[in-house]
Amino acid sequence: MAKKQLVGEEINKARAILEIHPIPPHHNESLQATLCDLELHLQSHEQADYARMANLLRGAEAELEADHPVVASVISGVIRTLANMGI
């Protein structure tokens, strides 16, 4: 399975978890925007700043870890998959 496809699956999993485990609107908007950016760049052949996106995801994971551990865990999965891609 292609690495980009794995990241896409992790993004889909994150969205599904966000529907089940809602988070505060400001966190949700920021996280959804980052996931959308990541998804768009994975689908295109343009050079993307994946390191910036991974850092945004790490920040979201840290902010949500205490109050929303399930969501933080799924974000961690996206970050791990990016790391496995060498990002």
User: How do residues 45-79 score in pLDDT, each as one tens digit?
Assistant: 666 777 888 899 999 999 999 999 999 999 999 99
Does residue 84 surpass a pLDDT of 80? yes
Please write the tens of the pLDDT for every residue from 39-50. 888 887 666 777
**What is this structure's pTM?**
0.85
Please write the tens of the pLDDT for every residue from 16-33. 999 999 999 999 999 999
Cα–Cα dist 77/75, whole Å? 5
| Chain center to CA of 66 | 18
Cα–Cα dist 19/7, whole Å? 19
